[in-house]
Structure 1
């Protein structure tokens, strides 16, 4: 009887292992992967003629083409991008900074590029530059809900922070005196300012914060997909296609 039970137990374990392998295989090789990105974040992610485009979106799409899988893109506000990935409602999302907090909860792949964070004020502001965040004491900063900038800024408590859903709302708040300064990616701010002809109303402070690497993040259940994506991403990053793509968007945003 004991021998029979042992054989049954071994057989059951084998069946369970096969089932686990099958589920992992099915997840990895699913015909469609679901991705998400911030909906109005040019030149990296935006909609043109109903189609998601932008530098980061095109990088992801190029890699997915190499993998041979269809990518379903769900653009939304950043706080939703983050929560959807956290709750495993999407397989991957872009673009993330490589903070220690996010490395613990997501599988980060990349970096795909570097972003330069800068500070922007109204033309009439008495602030002309800064040497430390103490220079902003008593002021109010406009930030994007759910964003991580860098540790020193995120933990600073000598100025207030007001959250906004996207960069357009953040800029409009600055122009309407709801905040004293905003922080954001140089290329995104430049693109939106140029499009809306805001140059006469605002000024970039000369001192930037720093260049920060940007990553693709995979949800906690998608380790296998992140490994596969990383392999094809590294091939793409060393290709002429990638260089041409960077040049294309640099020309667009001059």
Structure 2
């Protein structure tokens, strides 16, 4: 019995003195590497997911603010010349709308003296597509000074947006609620008839026609969309009773999205 105990003790001592074999060391290193890689991948994935969530929330917040701002502006649409009542909307395509709004007459201040209403403000709202393959681009708002030619402000409100399931960004409706066809060739691009509604050019004091944004900057220049005299759509533009706005905000990788929509009822066109 005692001899067996001594032999077991000597065997354990011999094993302890032998140390770790090369095979054991390699197995240990491989397991450590695998566990370390899994830990790094977990933290990288968690960090990426968190960053993506932040960007998605930011895009959604920008989209909500854009929708509220644009809906409010369209509700204030007014006539450039109230005496003829023929120039409230200047251009409407699936991705752009140019109109005049009573932005200077929204004050709620009340005074005893009569104050003449301010002139209407020219506004252009548009989606500038920067990725033709996905249709994703920026939501841009242009506001002009009283001369309707000099730009007062250019705001890039949404950085990752696109049309919702093929719907137009801007869809006009008549006063009786019927959708106005935006596929009709009511515009001329140079000499080529194109889809949309464009007021006949030459309106007095209309300022810059077809305000457009360049691809590499926020510079505003006059585009080449004009009214198509062969398909005069002035009457359709004058009969607009509401404008639907619809777009989808996406994350930078275009993997998650959220749709936004609103309906702006157009006012009488006169300062309130």
Q: TM-score under structure 1 normalisation?
A: 0.36
Greater RCO (CA < 8 Å, at least 6 residues apart): 1
- Would you tell me which structure has more strand in proportion to its own residues? 2
Scaled by the length of structure 2, the TM-score of the pair is: 0.35
Larger Rg: 1 or 2?
2
Structure with bigger helix share is 1
